[in-house]
Amino acid sequence: MAELNAEFRGYRSPLSTRYASKEMQYLFSDQHKFSTWRKLWILLAKAEKALGLDISEAQIAEMEKHVEDIDFKAAAAEEALTRHDVMAHVHVFAKQCPLAAPIIHLGATSCFVGDNTDLLVLKDALDQLLPKLVGVIKQLAHFAMQYRELPTLGFTHLQPAQLTTVGKRCSLWIQDLLMDERALRACRDNLRFRGVKGTTGTQASFLQLFAGDGAKVRQLDQTVTRLAGFERYYAVTGQTYSRKVDLEIVSALASLGATVHKMCSDLRLLASRKELEEPFEQTQIGSSAMPYKRNPMRSERCCALARHLITLQANAANTLATQWLERTLDDSANRRLTLSEAFLSADACLLTLLNISQGLVVYPKVIERNIAQELPFMSTENVIMAMVKAGGDRQVCHEKIRVLSHEAGAQVKQNGKDNDLVERIRADPYFAPILGQLSSILDPKTFTGRAAEQVVEFVTEEVNPIVALYADRVVTKSAQLNI
């Protein structure tokens, strides 16, 4: 029995077993990491051969045959002896490629494969996240347009305030997400390759390989960078590329986490008011003890993951701050955790948010009832203005409204009854001149200002151009989520 359950007897990250996509998990897998190391050794060999070093096509072909077939047990055994992960994989690869063994890792330092692989993974991970983020934006834009005219109570200080619309409130969430898209796209566009820099970034080892020919060393840097799929490399590095790069990216991801947390907190508040709900599947159970419950578990999951994502920014900042001179190794263990968990957490948030955004449920009658409890108080100034136009004295009218409002408020707060201010106004002969106008005065749509027009302008001018940037890459459907 113990052997059958062996996989469950050690720690497994929930990010890989429950939350993140298989595609994002693969980017941070050992298979992808170490096969990318081998690809980089091949690119280095190709570029060195093209620039005149004694490297044969047969050696390169031999390496290419063994890119994916990594002997992980042999590598672990080597690392146990050498205490060096890169040299362990150099030795294992060399045993598989005896002809190429003399030229594997030629002139390079560990960070040639380590840092360049990280940069390739970061680029690919950003390329995976951005279409999902824009997919959420696109879905929410549809929702905002659909409900752009539906009045709802606005809140300031979590107290009822002037009305807004359901669509306008959604546009506020979208606006923050657009800022996240802009920040992540900038990270993606600004990302460069470490390239071929040597042990302290001076390229001294490669200068020796090419007999002091600095032009060839520079060309080597440019060629490997291009072969790896980058347009530019960092002109100067220490042993590593600056950990400022990690900080910029993780900061953008943490900022996305803050956006997700804010939006999903709003959804949880609205679910509590029964105005809006996330999708709830037919067989889903909200509570083991209370069968009637429809808990907003997706939004709660997003908030939980987002809080973790937000905290990772401090790790990236501290790692940059504590890198001494050309580099120290105390970044390594931290980055293994921080970079992977930042992207996996962001990926999980976006997958869940995509699921939420494509199935939001609105309850207009509940919203209407909640408005009815507050709108009479909000409309008192309009009632006063109407009475003044009908010839009334503002001060007298104000006092009448004040007294009636307090009486209605007492009914609500002390007796738990509905707001009956409108009925009190209708029953007071003083307000007879405007009774025919009360329905229009109390029409919720007259209290939402330009909210509907703002949504149309916002979606047309700001959302649609961003969605268009991603064309067919936008992800608009999510698979069934693991619970």
Classify 157 in phi/psi space as left (phi over 0), alpha (psi -120 to 50) or beta: left
With CA atoms as reference, report the closest residue to 156 among 164, 148, 145, 144.
164
Angle ∠(24,298,154) on CA atoms, nearest 5: 125
Cα-based torsion angle of the residue sequence 49, 52, 55, 61 in order, rounded to the nearest 10 degrees:
30
Whether 455 contacts 145, CB under 8 Å: yes
Catalytic residue among 157, 272, 288, 439: 157
Whether 376 contacts 421, CB under 8 Å: yes
Q: DSSP states of 317-357 as a string? A: HHHHHT--TT--GGGHHHHHHHHHHHHHHHHHHHHHHHHHH
Half-sphere exposure of 174 (CA within 13 A, CB side): 31
> How far lies 76's CA from each of 28, 31, 36, 83, in Å?
18, 13, 18, 10
Q: DSSP states of 211-251 as a string? A: TT-HHHHHHHHHHHHHHTT-S-B-S--SSS--THHHHHHHH
Catalytic residue among 56, 84, 287, 440: 287
Three-class secondary structure of residue 284 per DSSP:
coil
Q: Which sign, positive or negative, has the C-alpha torsion 17, 22, 24, 29?
A: positive
Give the span between the Cα atoms of 211 and 8, in whole angstroms.
Answer: 55
Backbone φ and ψ for 391, nearest 5 degrees, come out as: 105, 5
287 is catalytic: yes
Active site residues: 157, 287
